[in-house]
Structure 1
Amino acid sequence: MDLFVECPDDKDYYVLNPDASRKYFTNQKIATRGNVEPFKKKKDKNTMRIFVLGESTTIGYPYFHNGSFHRWLQYRLTHTFPDRNFDVINLSLTAVNSYTTYGFARELIDYEPDAVLIYTGHNEYYGALGVGSTEQISGIPQLVDLILYLRQFRLVQLLTNGYETIRRSIGGEEPSAGGTRMKLMVADQQIPYQSMLYKQGVEQFRRNMDRTLQLLAKRAIPVFVSNLVSNEKDLKPFVSFPAETGNLLPFNKTYNLGLTALTRGNLPLAYSYFNAANRLDSSHALCTYYLGRTAYLQGNLGQAKRYFSRAKDLDGLRFRAPDVLNTIIRQLCQQYKNTHFVDTKALFESHSVNSIIGDELILEHVHPDLKGYALLSDAFYNALKQAKLITLQDGQEMSLAQLLRDMPITKVDSLAGLYKVANLKRNWPFNEAMSAQSFAVESVEEKLAYSLVKQQLSWSDALSDLYDFYMRSRALSKARQVVETLVLEYSTDVRYYEKAAMLSGELNDRETAIFYFKKAFALAPTFDKARHLFVLYLQLDRPSEALPYLNYASQNNQSQFDLGSVKATTEQIISLKQRYLIDSTNVSLLNQIANAYYRMDNAKGASKYIQKVLRIDAANKEALSMVAYLNSNRWEGRTR
């Protein structure tokens, strides 16, 4: 049950142990699995290694793969710092909580982390070992720790497996996907605000997070802990508790009058009734929510925000973390010098209508949509910058807007996420009625997404079929998006980098082609990749960057190409350009550079410097002669 095991495909790499979570689950059939993201046993000097800890939001439900915030972060870091390597290894799992956060942190500290990112708290009650979970062992934290310790031993694992076999033979319920897993994890559907069980959950979170941060502080590992976001404006509480016996009848009468007035659109009267009912019983979650709703609809936004937040805290079904957990997170971040507070909630509010988080960014109760996951990555990215773990030197930063535009998330992944949420909402505790026309399944992307959700296709097979469809349709940009998705998923597989580079070349996107060829070359240097790189750099008039790859190609030349003359000409261009920086009006230098590119059959390079000549001297004979030649049929027949 070690956290990491040797990668089956390459002994030089580790991956997350697929059985790592089994320690935290009594019902082994419910135990969840995480990502497979290989990282080197010995970290390279040029690599920044980041581990990510959390639960279903942190692993990217319902999109997973590139929908997860850590993939948004990895893509942005890699494209902002193309000459650095980033291991962003997500150790998050669904249906777990702070016990797993602490347990995993104890092991990851020995694997050269440069930073640890944490987003956890929503599963504190119903995640594995949560105080309201079917997987709860004991209300005594020390006893839980002891059992977790014992589960490392094979004898205890044998007894656990034996118990599971007996339970299944008796006819125990088998877990399944979607809402059923949520229901299977919940033992106590009603946990009142400030009840003993509620307080146990709060203290469990405080204790485990404190231990986690203390552990990382002892190793001086930078930690970034985010506060939590959830749908407050557009999700009614699941469970409200009835008023006390003495107030029950008057409360119900007043509350129902409020509902009637709200249905009729009489907001002032509805607010008046809900306010009166709230005075009779201020612990009723739905009444508090409707106070927020009527206040919101009347434009009393500050008041609405307070009511929505309190309604979430009063909700007896604790699938959304209470606000006190965010208070604990902030307090603990102030306590440890190496720990940085990440204010994701403020960022979400700034991108929400009237600064109250709702359906605009949250799909159901706690899981963000794709823009929400991008924002979560942005919050951590800016925290890394503020802590100076990443430093911009040339100002070539990928902005959030650019990230939202370029992030490779296929339509199949996007649709599959929406289909999963639709399935989730049909089940308990949402129980939403869904019509047959809720979503269409007609296009190729829709059919593949539907097959993926129904587990009729694996994710890799679905993307392979999507790629083939785009290539047959000559939709090269979409085909490249699929390949870029696979690059992030299989970050050590050089084939996908090469394919992304070649498609970029076909799209005449030389910068992106260079990016992927460089990554491919770093993983597995070859003559062909070096040749592609020096040609691309020379086409972009960047001879200094071409030279290292020319040198490699020359030393490993198994072709018929005469690279000696190319190298000599490249060195000549570098020298001429250095002189031109000192004397920028020297027409002779410009003509020499143009001639050098012309000898390489580099039409773009030659034309660039000819134009520079003609802007200084429009009648320059040498330049005009070369223009005529470049435009002639004779040049068209040459290799460019």
Structure 2
Amino acid sequence: MKASLSAKKRPLFYLLTLSSPILFFLLLELGLRIFSFGHTYPLFVDAKGMPGYLQASDQVIKRYFNDPKQAPNVSIDTIYFKKEKPAATFRVVVQGGSSAAGFPYGRWGGLAGMLNDRLEASFPDKDIEVITTAMSAVNSYTMLDLVDEIIAIQPDAVLIYAGHNEYIGVMGAGSALTSAQSHGAKLLFLKLKDLRIYQLMQRVMGLFSPAPPAAQGGAARGTLMAKAAANREIPYQSEIFDQGQQQFASNLQLILSKYQQANIPVMLGTLASNEGDQKPFVSDPTKESATAWQQKWQVYEQAMADGQYPNALAAASQLAQQFDTANSWFAVGQALLASGENEAARNALLAAKDRDQLRFRAPEEMNTIIKNVAEQFSAPLVDVQQYFVMHSKDGIIDNSLMLEHLHPNKRGYFLLAESYFNTMKKTALLQDWSQAQPSAKAWREVPITEVDAILADYKIATLKADFPFTDTPYKVSFPTPNDTVTQLALARQSGQQDWIANMQSLLGYYRQQQDHPQALIVARMLAQAFPSQHGPQFASGMLFLGLKEYPRAIKYLHKALALEPRNSEARKALIYALANTGASHQANAELEILQQQLGNDPVIKSLERTIQAAKQ
């Protein structure tokens, strides 16, 4: 009887024995969370002072570092959006690195800002949100990690412009900003990083480990580029070179698979970079130290200086065939360009970029991967690179569209957004494109202020004054503030004014100068930045009204009245705008509300006459 009872208890004994470690770790995890050990950095958080709105957290980058103090000082630009997505709202999310984010112009220079502005102008009667999750130094691992949280906010489309950071960015194949090296280890890290037990283990291990490479590299060189590179040189078609491609292809497939399962359309963009004017950062120093290389290089340089381009091309071609280095291919490209052979020159310049061993620019293999994955998942391809080529002199992307190696200038960012805008139009994500804003008008209204342009130029000058653009860092002086706009730029740069105060000052200046188009750009940016504030919405509506752009005035005046329903000035302006679009029925409805507010005010009769005149 006892033996029989023991046999019955044996499975329970085994179950308890096997489950005890699991129970222990569950209780340990729960205990660590109860006592607030460790950290979680959600992608989206409640917007401070704006009930009902969310924004991207400025702490997201910290989730990828065992010690959050080692995280670079980068964040996602703040865009407020409704926590509960209204049924009529069309919501777009942008993913990518610094080029998608709009460096150095900020939110409105990036893909989200430019595209939101263009869509808003093209669909004034629709509620459109374009939200960015792009930030500097991140790559496809970060994008993959954010997908579930992006799906949770119910986007109607996701736009991806990424691939430059697969080697040097956070968790890149050759980056100092990562501890895990293999693809599998990095994916496992993404799964475990939020567990408090894992964070406890990392902290204990950190007590016995030296400082990570990022901290060591950053001590001597201040820029994020320097910290990420940490003297990493990745030869063309080397093992690490191949790892970068493999991780990008694998992660991109996982990303699109997740979005496809959630029925969210994705647009993938090819990558553009400076081909014509950016010399390779690091060629092959071993090969180029050879006497034979040096001799042929001197022949090439002398022939170029003398304008003997056939001789220069012959010497450069010999260098490329014999040594196959980035510098030799760049020389071939320059000689061909000087000879007027533009198509062959571009191929040589692309070969030079691919062989640049300091991999801040994506090799052409990344564009091949983007095209293949887009085809595999039937995702619309946005051929950004080709769009830039079409708008470049001699068909070669250079400083006319780029600020340095890969960040577009004002015109370049406009083209980046326009390439996605045109693809959205072709795929009819929004139904009626009959009022799509023409390119020329959109260019005149680009949401980059004169202050933004001055600050961007200063950031780029500072960037170029350090690694990898120079071996001897130097200090850059801010432009002399000889005019009001430069004075305002200096006030923002020095911290004397925050963004809001600075923009308000700039708006006041443009109004004083009666520069209504520039004032409208500033007012519109303020309105988009603070969707729950009446003032910017009203100011934008009135400025559009003054320019007789009635549909766009109506959009902002409706927003202003939704925030302050008893604001009679906003309602007067709305009635006038509605009358001038022929919407007399709506104008009369608003007039009745206004009459209830004001009684027999003389303005009522005036507005009645306006409505009647518009009918005729």
Question: Normalising by structure 1, what TM-score?
Answer: 0.82
In structure 2, the residue matched to 1:271 is 313
- 1:225 partnered with 2:265: no
Does structure 1 residue 15 correspond to structure 2 residue 55?
yes
What CA distance in whole angstroms lies between the structure 2 residues aligned with 1:149 and 1:599? Answer: 63
- Provide the C-alpha distance between the structure 1 equivalents of 2:419 and 2:237, rounded to a whole number of angstroms: 31
In the TM superposition, what whole-angstrom CA distance separates every residue of 1:211-230 from its partner, at most 9, and x where no partner exists? Answer: 10111111121000100000
CA contact (8 A) 1:409 1:485 kept: no
Instruction: String of CA shifts for 1:498-524, please: whole Å, max 9, x gaps.
Output: 122234455666555334212323455
2:374 paired residue number: 333
The equivalent residue for 1:310 is 351
Give how far 1:361 is off.
0.5
Q: Give CA-to-partner distance per residue, 1:373-392, whole Å, 9 cap, x none.
A: 11111111111122221122
Q: 1:184 aligns with which of 203, 227, 241?
A: 227
Amino acid at match of 2:262: R
Is the contact made by 1:291 and 1:307 (CA closer than 8 Å) also made in structure 2? yes
Q: Does 1:5 align with 2:45?
A: yes
* Residues 350 and 165 of structure 1, relative CA distance in 2, 3 Å threshold: farther
Q: Give 1:209's aligned amino acid.
A: L
Question: Could you tell me whether the CA contact under 8 Å between 1:25 and 1:129 is conserved in 2?
Answer: no
| 1:340 partner amino acid | P
What SS is found at the alignment partner of 1:558? helix
| 8 Å Cα contact 1:514/1:533 also seen in 2 | yes
Q: Distance in 2 between matches of 1:68 and 1:253?
A: 45
How far apart in 2 are the matches of 1:176 and 1:512?
51
Shift of 1:52: 0.7
Do 2:93 and 2:157's aligned partners in 1 also have CA atoms closer than 8 Å?
yes
Q: What is the deviation of 1:122?
A: 0.5
Deviation at 1:315, TM superposition (A): 0.2
**Residue of structure 2 aligned with 1:388, choices 428, 435, 439:** 428
Q: Which of 54, 69, 72 is the aligned partner of 2:96?
A: 54
SS at match of 2:125: coil
* 2:463 paired residue among 400, 415, 424: 424
Distance 1:312 1:539 in 2: 55
Q: Does 1:212 align with 2:255?
A: yes
Q: Is the 8 A contact 1:497 1:520 kept in 2?
A: yes
1:139 corresponds, among 164, 181, 184, to 181
Letter matched to residue 276 of structure 2: K
Q: Which runs of 5+ in 2 are unaligned?
A: 1-40
Residue of structure 2 aligned with 1:128, choices 149, 166, 170: 170
What is the CA deviation profile of residues 89-117 of structure 1, one whole-angstrom value per residue up to 9, with x for unaligned ones? Answer: 10111111111111111221121110000
Q: Quick check: 413-422 or 474-483, which moved more?
A: 474-483
Question: Any conservation in 1 of the 2:465–2:475 contact (CA below 8 Å)?
Answer: no
Structure 2 distance, partners of 1:367, 1:206, is 23
Shift in Å, 1:142:
1.7
Letter of the aligned partner of 1:57 in structure 2?
A: S
The share of aligned pairs that are identical, in percent, is: 30
Contact 1:134-1:185 within 8 A present in 2 as well: yes
Bigger drift between 256-265 and 521-530 goes to 521-530
1:80 maps to which of 98, 114, 122 = 122
Corresponding position of 2:576: 535
- Structure 1: how far apart are the matches of 2:335 and 2:102? 33
- Check 1:559–1:155 CA distance in 2 against 1; reply closer, same or farther (3 A cut): farther
- AA aligned to 1:366 is L
AA aligned opposite 2:303: A
Tell me how far apart the structure 2 counterparts of residues 181 and 242 of structure 1 sit (CA, whole Å).
24
Structure 1 residues 10 and 291, CA, compared in 2 at 3 Å: closer, same or farther?
same
Q: 2:450 aligns with which of 404, 411, 422?
A: 411
Structure 2 equivalent of residue 441 of structure 1: 481
**Are residue 344 (structure 1) and residue 396 (structure 2) matched?**
no
- C-alpha distance in structure 1 between counterparts of 2:481 and 2:601, whole Å: 55
SS at match of 2:348: helix
1:495 to 517, 524, 535: 535
Larger radius of gyration between Structure 1 and Structure 2: 1
Number of equivalent positions: 571
1:425 to partner: Cα distance: 0.8
On the 8 A contact 2:389/2:397 being kept in 1, the answer is: yes
Contact 2:102 2:110 in 1 (8 A): yes
In structure 2, the CA distance between the partners of 1:167 and 1:8, relative to structure 1 (3 Å rule), is farther
Counterpart of 1:103?
145
Which whole-Å deviations, capped at 9, do the CAs of 1:384-422 have from their partners, x for residues lacking one? 1222211226x2220111100123321001111111111
The equivalent of 2:80 in structure 1 is 38
What's the offset of the Cα at 1:10?
Answer: 2.8
CA RMSD of aligned residues (A): 3.2
The offset of 1:451, in angstroms, is: 3.9
Asked if the contact 2:580/2:614 (under 8 Å) is kept, the reply is no
Letter in 2 for 1:112: Q
Partner of 2:411 in structure 1? 371
Q: Distance in 2 between matches of 1:141 and 1:551?
A: 66
Change (3 A) 1:172 1:330: closer
How far off is 1:275 after superposition? 1.3
Confirm or deny: 8 A CA contact 1:66 1:488 kept in the other structure: no
Distance 1:177 1:489 in 2: 37
Q: Distance in 2 between matches of 1:607 and 1:135?
A: 63
Per-residue CA deviations over 1:282-321 (Å, capped at 9, x if unaligned) read 2x10111010001011001111011000000000000000
Q: CA deviation at 1:436?
A: 7.7
Amino acid at match of 1:98: S
Distance 2:86 2:483 in 1: 44
2:603 matches 1:561: no
